[in-house]
Structure 1
Amino acid sequence: MTGETPRDTLSAASRIGFLGDTHGDMHHILTVARTMAARGIEYLVVLGDFGFVWPGHNWSIDIDKLSRRLKTTGQTLAFVDGNHEAFDLLYKFPVTDDGLRWLRPNIVHIPRGSRTALASGATLAALGGANSVDIGHRVPGRSVWAEESITEADLTVLGHEEADVLIGHDAPLHLPTLDAWLAATDHGWPPDGLKYSAEGRAMFHRGFLQVRPRLYLGGHYHRHIDESVTYTTGETEFQTRVVILDEGGSASGTSQGILDVQTLELEFITRDGVQVGSA
């Protein structure tokens, strides 16, 4: 970081722009940033698989470039971790007094278990992480890291207090649209990978039940899903609107959403700003 003072505008933003997996795609993320800036969005959040902190190239140059471009649009970009992050590199950045991990003055990682109060007074909690279904094709320490998995310690930090909004990377269990797609499609994933991925999703689901959000926003599955589901934990029944954003990289994909923090309603747009749905 430079000597500039970081701007934590998440708690002050009246609208927040959310992005699905970006996987280190500079063109996509800069296009989205311009689109969001034109709509007055100053705070962006990537829902895991940010992918810019990655070995094999000078990723620091890419982060510098992204930071400079965001500075011209007056935006801050935050991200929760997914399963496509180089955790050994990411964790070299310390968690500062505000509980966040600042990579640059306007680029910040939101650790698992973080909570913040939005401008409306609603509470937002974060639980990144997911298990890679293709782990058998990855190399430990080069393309997959053990830290991708949600742990018991993460769930302890998250706590059991309710949150109005939960952001993360994986998805809760018993999501009919996602479950039907996973069951009906032959993805060619090996049994060990499917088992490992399911274990990670089950861990996320435990955290999801701990906070019982009204709205959940995630990525990971490279599809757009939006449905309300009723869950039960103990004697408590609650309903959550579960929104999964598609991965970036496509001009037509529903991989962006704008959240109104007062109403918790969403507007979905393409990366070029074409409205594709609202509620």
Structure 2
Amino acid sequence: MIYVTGDTHGDITRFKSPEMKKVGRGDTLIIAGDFGFLWDNSKQEAAALKKLADKNFTIAFLDGCHENFDMLEKYPIEEWKGGKVHIIAPNIIHLLRGQVYTIEKSRIFTFGGGHSQDIEFRRDNDWWEREQPSHEEIKEGIAHLRENNYKFDYIITHEPPASLKECLGVDVLERLEVHAFFEDIIKTCKYREWFFGKCHIDKHIPIKFHAVFNSVIPLK
């Protein structure tokens, strides 16, 4: 079974929540950005990563707006389930932007990254420009959409499309190239459901969209 949840921000207690008890041996848990367990290379962080590496399910995460990209990019790019990844541990996988993965026969398009609302407080300390998707990453994503005939089972992103930002009243004024790209995906692609983690709320936006945070939602 595949499950989707929202930002974990390096909080190991999230994996002890009643919601997480749904995830069992051999399952795949996809985190829609801001995994946060590769942040400061501390002993506490290493211990938390070891606990996650001991889980009997796969943790596959998109990057979000609060990641240490210097740490993430030290891992070599490899292939997993048909798309590019960083393999942090045998069961901890960083899903790269604009990739398509086939997991349990489901075709999933992923696109992490976005805009930090707290950028003014972090710019000189723990902010990375690479959190914002580049034009080249978007071009690669477009190529993969075309290769797959614009048909997917699921789309999972960190940021929501621009139109949903307005609907949810979240970060309304900020517009990146990736937001326009997501609007194009809405118009051109066929998919069953779209999940995003940026907004830190659990909300279904009919018919196909899900803002996800603490919920752990099965992909059926």
TM-score with structure 1 length normalisation? 0.67
Q: CA shift at 1:200, angstroms?
A: 5.8
Deviations 1:226-266 (A, max 9, x none): 1236xxxxxxxxxxx111112x4xxxxxx221111xxxxxx
Q: CA shift at 1:37, angstroms?
A: 3.6
3-state SS, counterpart of residue 44 of structure 1: strand
In structure 2, distance between residues paired with 1:180 and 1:30: 32
Q: CA shift at 1:105, angstroms?
A: 1.0
User: Please, what is the CA RMSD of the aligned residues?
Assistant: 2.5
Q: Is the Cα–Cα contact under 8 Å of residues 131 and 149 in structure 1 kept in the other structure?
A: yes
3-state SS, counterpart of residue 217 of structure 2: strand
Change (3 A) 1:118 1:61: closer
Residue of structure 2 equivalent to 1:265:
none
Q: Which moved more, 1:92-101 or 1:125-134?
A: 92-101
Amino acid of the structure 1 residue aligned with 2:209: V
Change (3 A) 1:33 1:52: farther
Residue of structure 2 equivalent to 1:174:
163
Does residue 1:21 correspond to 2:11, yes or no?
A: no
Amino acid of the structure 2 residue aligned with 1:80: L
Of 102, 117, 135, the residue aligned with 2:87 is 102
Q: CA shift at 1:172, angstroms?
A: 0.9
Quote the sequence identity (%): 25
Residue of structure 1 equivalent to 2:100:
115
In structure 1, distance between residues paired with 2:88 and 2:61: 11
3-state SS, counterpart of residue 85 of structure 1: coil
Deviations 1:158-192 (A, max 9, x none): 123312311110101222xx524417xxxxxxxxx
In structure 2, distance between residues paired with 1:51 and 1:96: 21
| Unaligned ranges ≥5, structure 1 | 1-14, 184-192, 230-240, 249-254, 261-279
Change (3 A) 1:137 1:82: same
Deviations 1:116-167 (A, max 9, x none): 22434x4211101110112111134x42111110111111111233123111
Residue of structure 2 equivalent to 1:126:
110
Q: CA shift at 1:63, angstroms?
A: 1.2
Q: Is the Cα–Cα contact under 8 Å of residues 64 and 131 in structure 2 kept in the other structure?
A: yes
3-state SS, counterpart of residue 77 of structure 2: coil
In structure 2, distance between residues paired with 1:23 and 1:204: 26
Task: Choose 1 or 2 for highest CA Rg.
Answer: 1
Question: Residues 1-279 of structure 1 correspond to what in structure 2 (within 5 A)?
Answer: 15-31=1-17, 35-37=21-23, 42-55=27-40, 57-58=42-43, 59-68=45-54, 70=55, 74-98=56-80, 99-120=84-105, 122-140=106-124, 142-159=125-142, 160-161=145-146, 162=150, 163-175=152-164, 178-182=165-169, 195=173, 197-199=174-176, 202-206=179-183, 208-209=185-186, 211-228=189-206, 241-246=208-213, 248=214, 255-260=215-220
| Unaligned ranges ≥5, structure 2 | none
Amino acid of the structure 2 residue aligned with 1:154: E
Deviations 1:85-107 (A, max 9, x none): 10111111111143221101111
3-state SS, counterpart of residue 194 of structure 2: strand
In structure 2, distance between residues paired with 1:49 and 1:92: 18
TM-score with structure 2 length normalisation? 0.83
Deviations 1:60-98 (A, max 9, x none): 332122212x1xxx2111100110110111111111143
3-state SS, counterpart of residue 205 of structure 2: strand
Q: Is the Cα–Cα contact under 8 Å of residues 149 and 200 in structure 1 kept in the other structure?
A: no
In structure 2, distance between residues paired with 1:212 and 1:152: 23
Number of equivalent positions: 209
In structure 1, distance between residues paired with 2:216 and 2:19: 11
Change (3 A) 1:124 1:202: same
